[in-house]
Structure 1
């Protein structure tokens, strides 16, 4: 993929997401905030944070229970791991599946931008079949990192990031923290980060 087409795809993805959040009935943004919503904040696109990597499959994927933002629980299979380098250091993230035959991976992570520029409970990457290259490697592109729905409204239940996926590095890519429009400050702004610590 050329740099130009990658940037175009990323820009279109972000524009579609802004439209969904602003106008779709299923938007997680509370209805009284949508009129004032003028788009999400993102880090600038960084091609160095896009990786094509083999999934290091685990021989016998274990089932783990992940807590949620509302003190619930969900079960996931720890399917494998991705290794990647940032500034000469190697990092690893586990990838999860809900069921063994699902052809998609969920890669949640926390990093050292959390609670400052990005959502305190961490961000997610979803890898679909379309995120595989012709030779079967996966595209792990942090420019597509997104906030769980509970970043926009505490009405949502979101799986928390397992400690294995807490990165000791800044991932300056993808979606930044959502700030509710000023008039909604009382309902969201004061409590947006409390449940993850």
Structure 2
């Protein structure tokens, strides 16, 4: 009887570790694909020596604390608005919903957006855009903030995995790219030590 009881206790631990390793492997896949994109001359935002010298992005260590399940509330009757960009122009977006979560016991809410240009394309029909700023910006990450790509959730929760957050192209090439500026409502007062870091490896 004791043996079976021990197995019963062990099973949730095994299941939990399998789940974690699956999530970690998804993050490693994200990192690998991002590095491949920046090494690909057809996709990279890098130019000249920055491209030639690029090897890989620096990343914060994977930390499951920054993979949170947020309560999701869709915004009803959202009107299109012009989101300012790094070049001074604007891009058309609409608010899609709010994601509320806790981190280290503190509650936060971020707004998710839809690009009115992208949703015209079939493959981006379910795409949601999450730009945010946090206390690492201007130090370990780009001063203008970071982005996260998401898809429309089926229910009333959504996974926000900050381990998959990345810097806008403008962080590496401000001349050729026009990047949405993070709205003030998406400024987090804490450090989000996850995802891509910003170091001068591009200028070595």
TM-score per shorter chain, which class? 0.7 to 0.9
Aligned counterpart in structure 1 of residue 140 of structure 2, from 117, 122, 128: 117
Partner of 2:25: 8
TM-superposition CA deviations, 1:4-28 (whole Å, max 9, x none):
1111121122112112212332200
Partner of 1:170: 191
**CA deviation after TM superposition for structure 1 residue 136, in Å:** 6.4
Aligned length: 180
Q: Who wins on radius of gyration, i.e. which is larger?
A: 2
Aligned counterpart in structure 2 of residue 106 of structure 1, from 129, 140, 156: 129
Aligned counterpart in structure 1 of residue 111 of structure 2, from 88, 94, 99: 94
CA RMSD in angstroms, aligned pairs only: 2.0
**CA deviation after TM superposition for structure 1 residue 178, in Å:** 4.4
- Corresponding residue SS for 1:33: helix
Q: Take 2:186 and 2:87, find their aligned partners in 1: how far apart are those partners?
A: 20
Higher helix share: 2
- Corresponding residue SS for 1:83: strand
Partner of 1:194: none
Partner of 1:43: 60
- Corresponding residue SS for 2:65: helix
| Correspondence 1:9-24 to 2 at 5 A | 9-24=26-41
TM-score for both structures, normalised by structure 2: 0.81
Q: Take 1:37 and 1:64, find their aligned partners in 2: how far apart are those partners?
A: 37
- The answer as to 2:168 corresponding to 1:151 is no
Gaps of 5+ in 2: 1-17
- Corresponding residue SS for 2:53: coil
Q: Take 1:178 and 1:151, find their aligned partners in 2: how far apart are those partners?
A: 10
**CA deviation after TM superposition for structure 1 residue 118, in Å:** 0.5
Contact 2:133–2:186 (CA<8 Å) still a contact in 1?
Answer: yes
Gaps of 5+ in 1: 184-197
Partner of 2:149: 126
**CA deviation after TM superposition for structure 1 residue 143, in Å:** 0.5
Contact 1:152–1:178 (CA<8 Å) still a contact in 2?
Answer: no
TM-score for both structures, normalised by structure 1: 0.83
TM-superposition CA deviations, 1:111-159 (whole Å, max 9, x none):
1110011000000011025xx47x5632211110100110111121100
Contact 1:50–1:139 (CA<8 Å) still a contact in 2?
Answer: yes
- The answer as to 2:47 corresponding to 1:30 is yes
Contact 2:113–2:129 (CA<8 Å) still a contact in 1?
Answer: yes
